Amino acid sequence: MNGASLASAARRWSGRQRALALVAALVVIAGLSTISGSVFVAPLTTANFAPASGIVAAAVLMARRRSRLAVAAAGGAAIIAGNLMAGLPADFVFIVGLIRILEIVLFCEIVDRTGRLPRLDSVRDTVRIVIGASVASLFFAVGVTVVRLANEVPLDQAFANDSFVAHLASFAVVTPLAFARVGQGGRAPATEIAAQWALMAATLGLVFSPLIGLPVAFLPLPLFAWAALRLSAFGMTLQMLAVSIATSALTLAGWGPFNSSTASDSQALTLLQAALFIFAGSTIVLWAKRVEDELRIERAAAKDRVLRRAVEQAQTAFLLVERIGDAYIVVQANDHGIRALGMDPENEFFSASSEINIALPSDHPLVPGLAEVADGRPRWQGELVLDAFTGRADAEVSIERATGDQSDVMSVELADVTAQRREDRRLRALVDRERALTAQYQELSRQKDDFVASISHELRTPLSSIVGYAEALEETELDPMQRRFLDTITRNAGRLQERVEELLSAAKRAADSVDDPHPLALSPLIADVADDLRPVAAARRVEVVLEGSSLELPEIIGTEDAVTRVLTNIVGNAVKFSPDGAPVTISALVDDDTVELFVRDSGPGIPPADHERVFDRFYRTEDATAKATPGTGLGLSIVRTLLDAIDGSVLVESDGRTGSTFVIRFARARDLDPAS
């Protein structure tokens, strides 16, 4: 709708184009000044027709701020040149020209001090044009009056009222034309524009007709109002200029309401200029007010549209419900709100108007909440199951009294939480199942422990008796073969006893067997365990190597029995899983709080996925099972339980291919008992 104005187009011109335009304007200004100087002016008077001033003012306002003074000076110079060409006395022309330059600068300063282009769609800017025109023209008139007085013109003839109104009209009619955007604010179709122009021409014809002979100068007023309310900026200002030129010509021809038998031509023209200023000034301000309001309304409507669209497309459902008697009527709803009522917003019933009228059935789930709010409760919130959205839906609902004094209108907000609730239920079911499985597992595990405990208990007594009798037999005379048989019986019964003890301690929580942990020398225990294991190891040419660091260790917290069992298990495993001839090394690392032992072997290693599981009861790696390495899978679980009981810990490091390192961490004695 908004095309360019002369001024806005000029801002985009190149420097060269601007210079050319300025030269052209100066030529026009000089020409117009020559005309007004030669036609209307007697010595020591100024023209009562001054379009040149309006053009210079427009050029100055169009110029960039830093070149404004220069443009004003150039314009003033062009006017001076024109006046000189008209043959006016040079000294008077120069002094008046100087006053004129100051006048134009003053006008421009009042209209705009920032360097931006004045806008006709701003009441503030158009009022500034009117005020600027008044103040600047008064300044010029007073200046000219002073010059006249200095030239001994009598006081009663000295005031330059003719130039005052001439300049007023020039600023109000000519200058705005430069800032009028083509098409801006135009509301009238072509036929209306034509009718308005035709009526304006006819009215002026009537006003200036010698046949009428009545002073009806105000007749065009409604047509100016029409222009202000319906024409575009450019159309309005152009009409103003056309009216000025036409009426000036008619007045000079001796026609129209401004001529009378008592007034000279010049006085008639002055009167006309005053009328033109009033018409033009009020028309541009009225136009600005109208367009500014339209813009404001348009902006508000656009904002409203955006908000409305947001509400309509929101994933939250909104309803406005009114209570009428006992019934609850939905009077407005967004798309999602209509879905919440179980209906389809695409249905043409809803597209017809934004007002809807749907009575909720009396058993609708929303009714109890609505009734509470209608009866005075400020707000109702809860979760409801609705036949809505896409079937049965869980909805979070909030009902509030709508603002305003219509107390029986309530706003309802519904959020579809069906998917969330479904997910909640699924998760809850999963957790329940997990829990049941865990309970089942614990029960099985308990039964297994019971079973293991009772079996081992049952085995213990007969075993003791076998071992006892075997020992008794050892005291007797036996031939070599019998002795060999007896050795085999004793050895295997001993092994069996060890296994049974292992099983028993695993079942009855090894930790219970750790009584009263106390400071303990670690190094001798390591040496003892290594010694004990050496015969077994030697059979497979495995050497248990104690690195220096493990020989002189500080005291730790524990019991002899627990620590010995831990070490026997882990070093025993290392020997058991080592390949023939490879060493098992034990090293240590001490810090302020702990003593760490590293038991390293070069066996098959333990895959990372099994690093934790090897400490579970009965767990054995695939490798151990496949190679039928002897064992029960209980040792490491006992180790961990024992270490827990003495504030220690254990973990394994291995890449699953080249050996394992078990890291056993004990608590240092002085930490628990600084006194000792």
Q: Which residue ranges make up the site for ligand ADP (CB under 6 A)?
A: 569, 573-574, 577, 601, 603-604, 606, 614, 620-621, 624, 631-637, 660
CB of 662 to ligand ADP, least distance (A): 7
Residues 39-75 as b/e (b if ≥16 CB within 10 A, e otherwise) read ebbeebbbbbbbbbbbbbbbbbbbbeeeebeebbbbb
The residue (of 66 and 657) whose beta carbon lies closer to ligand ADP is 657
C-alpha distance from residue 472 to each of 465, 466, 468, 481, 593 (Å): 10, 10, 6, 17, 50
CB of 440 to ligand ADP, least distance (A): 24
CB of 451 to ligand ADP, least distance (A): 19
CB of 442 to ligand ADP, least distance (A): 21
Q: Which tokens sit at 294? A: 């339209």
CB of 456 to ligand ADP, least distance (A): 15
Rounded Cα–Cα distance for residues 271 and 252 (Å) = 12
CB of 421 to ligand ADP, least distance (A): 46
Check the CA dihedral 485-491-492-497 and report its sign: positive
The residue (of 438 and 632) whose beta carbon lies closer to ligand ADP is 632
CB count in 10 Å sphere of residue 279: 24
Rounded Cα–Cα distance for residues 396 and 383 (Å) = 5
Candidates 170, 234, 227; CA nearest to 200 is 227
The residue (of 345 and 656) whose beta carbon lies closer to ligand ADP is 656
The residue (of 482 and 492) whose beta carbon lies closer to ligand ADP is 492
C-alpha distance from residue 88 to each of 28, 36, 140, 370, 416 (Å): 19, 11, 18, 90, 88
CB of 567 to ligand ADP, least distance (A): 13
Phi and psi at 103, nearest 5°, equal -60, -45
CB count in 10 Å sphere of residue 609: 9
The residue (of 123 and 563) whose beta carbon lies closer to ligand ADP is 563
Which residue in this structure is represented by tokens 């037999």? Answer: 473
Phi and psi at 658, nearest 5°, equal -120, 75
Candidates 287, 234, 294, 289; CA nearest to 8 is 234
Rounded Cα–Cα distance for residues 553 and 532 (Å) = 20
CB of 590 to ligand ADP, least distance (A): 23
The residue (of 137 and 660) whose beta carbon lies closer to ligand ADP is 660
Contacts of 433 (CB under 8 A, 6+ apart): none
The residue (of 559 and 660) whose beta carbon lies closer to ligand ADP is 660
CB of 644 to ligand ADP, least distance (A): 15
Between β-strands 544-546 and 584-590, what pairing exists: parallel, antiparallel or unpaired? parallel
The residue (of 160 and 639) whose beta carbon lies closer to ligand ADP is 639
The residue (of 207 and 639) whose beta carbon lies closer to ligand ADP is 639
Check the CA dihedral 448-453-456-459 and report its sign: negative
CB of 578 to ligand ADP, least distance (A): 8
CB of 640 to ligand ADP, least distance (A): 9
The residue (of 406 and 632) whose beta carbon lies closer to ligand ADP is 632
Rounded Cα–Cα distance for residues 583 and 276 (Å) = 118
The residue (of 119 and 600) whose beta carbon lies closer to ligand ADP is 600
The residue (of 239 and 637) whose beta carbon lies closer to ligand ADP is 637
Phi and psi at 651, nearest 5°, equal -150, 170
CB of 532 to ligand ADP, least distance (A): 16
Candidates 359, 355, 357, 376; CA nearest to 367 is 359
Rounded Cα–Cα distance for residues 107 and 639 (Å) = 101
Tell me the DSSP string of 128-164: HHHHHHHHHHHHHHHHHHHHHHHTT--HHHH--HHHH
Rounded Cα–Cα distance for residues 132 and 654 (Å) = 93
CB of 502 to ligand ADP, least distance (A): 8
CB of 631 to ligand ADP, least distance (A): 3
CB of 569 to ligand ADP, least distance (A): 6
Query: Where are the strands (E) in 220-372, listed by range?
Result: 316-324, 327-333, 358-359
Tell me the DSSP string of 455-483: HHHHHHHHHHHHHHHHHHHHTS---HHHH
Phi and psi at 348, nearest 5°, equal -65, -20
Angle at 290 between CA 286 and CA 293, to 5 degrees: 135
The residue (of 36 and 660) whose beta carbon lies closer to ligand ADP is 660
Amino acid at 104: I
The residue (of 130 and 529) whose beta carbon lies closer to ligand ADP is 529
- Strand, helix or coil at 81? helix
CB count in 10 Å sphere of residue 296: 10
Taking CB positions, which residue lies at the least distance from ligand ADP? Answer: 631
CB of 577 to ligand ADP, least distance (A): 4
The residue (of 411 and 497) whose beta carbon lies closer to ligand ADP is 497
Q: Which tokens sit at 559? A: 């019991």
The residue (of 350 and 619) whose beta carbon lies closer to ligand ADP is 619
CB of 547 to ligand ADP, least distance (A): 17
The residue (of 282 and 587) whose beta carbon lies closer to ligand ADP is 587
